[in-house]
C-alpha cells in the first residue's frame, strides 16, 4: 500500500462521535458564547482539513494540521532543505535511513554561530509516527564557520521507518559564545559556615516531597559571571553550598561543585536540591544546593571547587527544514 492510500484510509473516517455531538448540542442550549468559539474552532479545523496543501504554508496552519493528523501534515509539507532566519542558515547535508532509525546531518552557519553553538533543547522532530530523538553537535569548520549536527530518530515500537515519508526538523533558539571555567577554586572559607543555616523548601531529583534547602542570602562570592554562591551551612546535619544560576532561560547557566581536602582528594556531593523563581518570566533564576555528608571537623580542612558554564548570546527565531526519509549522498 502506498503512502497516499495509507493517508486516505487514516483520515477518511475522521469525524465527531454521536456522543460528542450530543454533548456539544446540550451545552449550546445553555450558553451561546461557547457555541461561537466552538464553531470558530470547528471551522478552522475544517478549513485545514479541506485545504491542507495551503494550510501547511503558514506556521499556525501547519501546527494545527500536525495536531489533527501528523501523516497529513507531513504529506503536504513541501520539501525545503535550507532555511535562513536572523542571518543564520540551517541546511540538510545528508540523510541515512536503516530499519527503525533515521539520521540527518544538518549544518548551521552565519550570524553568531560558533564552535560552541547549542540548540538549547529547542528543537523538534515532526514525523508521521511515534518516535524518540536527539541531536548533538559533531563538527566545527573554523574556515567556513559552520557547525554540523547529527540528528537521530527511532520508532518507539522498533518498527521499520515507513518509506515515502518526510521528516520536518525545527529549531527555535540558539546559544552561542559558551564559556567554561573548569576545576576552578572558589573563594569561600568553608569553616566560616560550619553552623546551622536558615532553610526553606526545595525539590530533589531523587525525592518527590519537598526537602530542606538553604534560604538564599546575599552573594558570598561569584566564581563565574551569572553564577554566585548565595548561602552555605548545615541543615539537618548535612552541609549545603548554594549556587544561584542567574537568568537561566537565556544563559543555560549551570555548575557542579565539590570539596577537596588538604591532599587534593575530591569529596563529591551526595545529591542536589533546587528551587526557582518564576521560570516563565524573563530573568528567572534557579537556586541549587549541593549536599555533602561531612562533619564540621572534616570541613575545616576542605576547600570548595567547581566547574562553571554560561552562554551570553541567545538567538531566537524559527529554522525549519523538511526532507524525504531516504538515503542521500553527502
* pLDDT at residue 42 in the model: 45
Q: What is the average per-residue pLDDT within 275-304?
A: 85
Reading the block at residue 160, the C-alpha cell is 521499520
Reading the block at residue 57, the C-alpha cell is 504554508
Maximum distance among all alpha carbons in the chain?
Answer: 79
* pLDDT at residue 205 in the model: 59
Does the predicted TM-score (pTM) go above 0.75?
no
- Counting Cα atoms < 13 Å in the Cβ hemisphere of 305 gives 16
Q: What is the average per-residue pLDDT within 188-214?
A: 83
* pLDDT at residue 284 in the model: 78
pLDDT (tens digit per residue) in 61-117: 676 777 777 777 777 788 999 999 999 999 999 999 999 999 999 999 999 999 999
Answer yes or no: is pLDDT of 129 > 90: no
Is 106 exposed, middle or buried (CB count within 10 Å of its CB: 0-12, 13-18, 19+)?
buried
Collapsed DSSP state (helix, strand, coil) of residue 45:
helix
* pLDDT at residue 53 in the model: 56
**169: Cα separation from own chain's centroid:** 14
* pLDDT at residue 208 in the model: 62
Percent share of the chain, pLDDT over 70: 75
Reading the block at residue 330, the C-alpha cell is 553527502
Between 11 and 318, whose confidence is greater?
318
Residues 40 and 36: their CA atoms lie apart, in Å, by: 6
Residues 264 and 239: their CA atoms lie apart, in Å, by: 19
Place of cell 559556615: 193
pLDDT (tens digit per residue) in 8-24: 343 333 333 444 334 43
- Name the phi and psi angles at 302, rounded to 5: -110, 155
Amino acid at each position: 500500500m502506498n503512502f497516499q492510500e495509507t493517508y486516505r484510509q487514516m483520515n477518511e473516517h475522521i469525524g465527531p462521535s454521536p456522543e460528542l455531538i450530543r454533548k456539544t448540542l446540550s451545552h449550546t442550549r445553555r450558553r451561546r458564547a461557547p457555541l461561537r468559539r466552538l464553531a470558530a474552532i470547528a471551522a478552522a479545523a475544517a478549513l485545514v482539513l479541506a485545504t491542507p496543501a495551503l494550510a501547511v504554508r503558514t506556521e499556525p496552519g501547519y501546527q494545527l494540521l500536525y495536531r489533527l493528523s501528523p501523516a497529513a501534515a507531513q504529506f503536504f509539507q513541501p520539501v525545503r532543505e535550507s532555511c535562513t532566519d536572523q542571518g543564520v542558515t540551517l541546511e540538510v547535508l545528508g540523510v541515512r535511513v536503516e530499519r527503525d532509525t533515521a539520521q540527518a546531518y544538518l549544518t548551521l552557519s552565519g550570524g553568531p554561530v560558533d564552535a560552541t553553538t547549542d540548540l538549547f533543547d529547542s528543537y523538534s522532530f515532526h514525523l508521521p509516527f511515534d518516535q524518540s530523538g536527539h541531536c548533538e553537535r559533531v563538527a566545527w569548520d573554523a574556515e567556513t564557520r559552520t557547525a554540523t549536527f547529527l540528528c537521530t530518530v527511532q520508532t518507539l515500537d522498533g518498527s521499520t521507518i515507513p518509506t515515502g515519508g518526510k521528516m520536518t526538523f525545527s529549531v527555535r533558539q540558539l546559544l552561542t559564545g559558551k564559556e567554561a571555567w573548569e576545576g576552578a577554586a572558589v573563594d569561600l572559607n568553608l569553616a566560616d559556615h560550619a553552623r546551622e543555616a536558615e532553610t526553606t523548601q526545595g525539590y530533589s531529583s531523587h525525592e518527590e516531597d519537598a526537602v530542606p534547602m538553604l534560604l538564599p542570602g546575599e552573594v558570598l562570592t561569584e566564581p563565574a559571571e551569572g553564577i554566585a554562591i548565595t548561602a552555605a551551612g548545615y541543615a539537618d546535619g548535612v552541609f549545603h553550598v548554594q549556587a544561584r544560576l542567574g537568568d537561566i532561560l537565556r544563559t543555560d547557566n549551570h555548575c557542579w561543585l565539590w570539596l577537596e581536602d588538604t591532599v587534593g582528594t575530591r569529596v563529591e556531593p551526595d545529591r542536589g536540591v533546587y528551587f526557582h523563581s518564576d521560570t516563565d518570566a524573563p530573568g528567572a533564576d534557579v537556586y541549587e544546593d549541593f549536599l555533602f555528608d561531612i562533619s564540621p571537623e572534616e570541613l575545616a580542612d576542605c576547600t570548595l571547587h567547581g566547574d562553571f558554564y554560561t552562554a551570553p548570546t541567545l538567538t531566537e527565531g524559527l529554522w525549519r527544514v523538511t526532507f524525504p526519509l531516504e538515503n542521500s549522498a553527502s
